[in-house]
Amino acid sequence: METTEQRIQIAVQKTGRLTDHSIDLLERCGLKLTRSKDQLICYGENMPIDLLLVRDDDIPGLVSEDVCDLGIVGLNVVEEKRLTRESEGRPAQFKRIYELDFGHCRLSIAGPEETPYEGPGSLENTRIATSYIGILNQYLKSNDIDAEAVFFSGAVEIAPKLGRAEYICDIVSTGSTLKANGLVEQEVLLDSEAVVIQTQKPLAAEKQALVDKILQRLDGVLQVRESKYIMLHAPKAALGAIRDLLPGTEAPTILALDGSDDKVAVHVVCRENVFWETLENLKAAGASSLLVLPVEKMLA
Ligand code: ATP
Ligand code: ZN
């Protein structure tokens, strides 16, 4: 077995919202994993890649300090750690390299329903409870707002009820937690999703080649998630109109149909979801024998 130095270490959230998606994505890249007895490491059986299962807040630090080569973590956490480290005079040693299209959420400022809000100026001279001090302070500074960021490590949404702050700044996805606490979202500071970060230290050529391979496979996995293979018959005269209706496609393959001079078969990969409406519109444009198939793997 290779020594740790030759294996790639990827930091992944141990238990939480990102865990299943992160592991599932890596498995779909062809990685076969076995969990250690203490559940702290997943060993790659068929590739020299191991996952370190940790708290999401520790992931930027582990990558920055070179304990891990890569990490999968929310952009909200990445940005907060980057700003905190910068303010402490030790800039982050990681680069954000890839967006993964899961873990979507936003970091927003919200206030009580009964508080009149007339734009960012309403935040002037207020207290804002948050665990995202770095991002909030950056927002306040760049908008020239004089307000106090009050640190809350959890249950930020109850701060206004406790009289500890006038507003909160926290992660929102559906908005149901805010609603349940009588709060209204007012400003979006950051749109977030899970991202891959990589250490800024140059990797040995072999390791970098493996990282590139994994990223290329990730790209393929993300693309096929929505992609469909469409087959249909089309009158030659309607080809232009039909092509215009196909969402997110490259050049289609046009095949002759046995015994038909005016119709052809069209095969095409659509990189977006194909809805019933699209099929109905294609049919209305003259297409027939429509077939939509899932795409299993793709390598551009
Ligand atoms: P840990 O124990 O690892 O510190 P945590 O409680 O900080 O876990 P989770 O609640 O599992 O973290 O959220 C992990 C990430 O999921 C967030 O940092 C954010 O990027 C993303 N996320 C997506 N939707 C939401 C949401 N509704 N609330 C909180 N985080 C969300
Ligand atoms: Zn966390």
Structural domains in the chain, CATH included, are 4-101+194-222 (3.40.190.10), 105-192 (3.40.190.10), 228-294 (3.30.70.120)
Whole-structure pTM value: 0.86
Tell me which of 171, 176, 185, 192 to substitute to probe ligand 1's pocket, judged by most ligand atoms within 8 Å of the beta carbon: 171
Site residues for ligand 1, CB cut-off 6 Å: 13, 16-18, 55-57, 74, 76-77, 103, 105, 171, 173, 192
Classify 117 as helix, strand or coil: coil
Share of the chain above pLDDT 90, in %: 81
Is the pLDDT confidence value at 148 over 70?
A: yes
**Ligand 1: residue whose CA is nearest its atom 24:** 105
Distance in Å, CA 55 to ligand 2 centroid? 6
Is the pLDDT confidence value at 12 over 70?
A: yes
Per-residue model confidence as pLDDT tens digits over 100-119: 999 999 999 999 999 999 99
Is the pLDDT confidence value at 158 over 70?
A: yes
What pLDDT score was predicted for residue 5? 65
What pLDDT score was predicted for residue 92? 86
What pLDDT score was predicted for residue 46? 94
Task: Starting from the CA of residue 15, give the closest ligand.
Answer: 1
Per-residue model confidence as pLDDT tens digits over 254-300: 999 999 899 999 999 988 778 899 999 999 999 999 999 988 888 87
Tell me the residues surrounding ligand 2 (ion) with CB < 5 Å: 56-57
Residue from 11, 17, 53 nearest 35 by CA: 53
Query: 113: which DSSP letter?
Result: T
Is the pLDDT confidence value at 34 over 60?
A: yes
How far is it, in rounded angstroms, from Cα 248 to Cα 44?
35
Kindly state the average pLDDT of the residues 168-188: 95
**Ligand 1: residue whose CA is nearest its atom 6:** 16
Is the pLDDT confidence value at 74 over 80?
A: yes
Per-residue model confidence as pLDDT tens digits over 209-249: 999 999 999 988 988 888 899 999 999 999 999 999 987 77
Distance in Å, CA 15 to ligand 2 centroid? 10
**Ligand 1: residue whose CA is nearest its atom 11:** 16
Ligand 1 atom nearest to CA at 192: 20
Distance in Å, CA 217 to ligand 2 centroid? 27
Ligand 1 atom nearest to CA at 73: 20
**Ligand 1: residue whose CA is nearest its atom 28:** 171
How far is it, in rounded angstroms, from Cα 51 to Cα 24?
12
Q: Please count the other Cβ atoms lying within 10 Å of the Cβ belonging to residue 206.
A: 12
What pLDDT score was predicted for residue 224? 85
Per-residue model confidence as pLDDT tens digits over 35-71: 988 889 999 999 999 999 999 999 999 999 989 999 9
What pLDDT score was predicted for residue 3? 58
Classify 89 as helix, strand or coil: coil
Classify 180 as helix, strand or coil: helix
Give me the chain's average pLDDT, please.
93
Distance in Å, CA 57 to ligand 2 centroid? 5
How far is it, in rounded angstroms, from Cα 11 to Cα 92?
16
Is the pLDDT confidence value at 1 over 60?
A: no
What pLDDT score was predicted for residue 174? 92
Distance in Å, CA 17 to ligand 1 centroid? 5
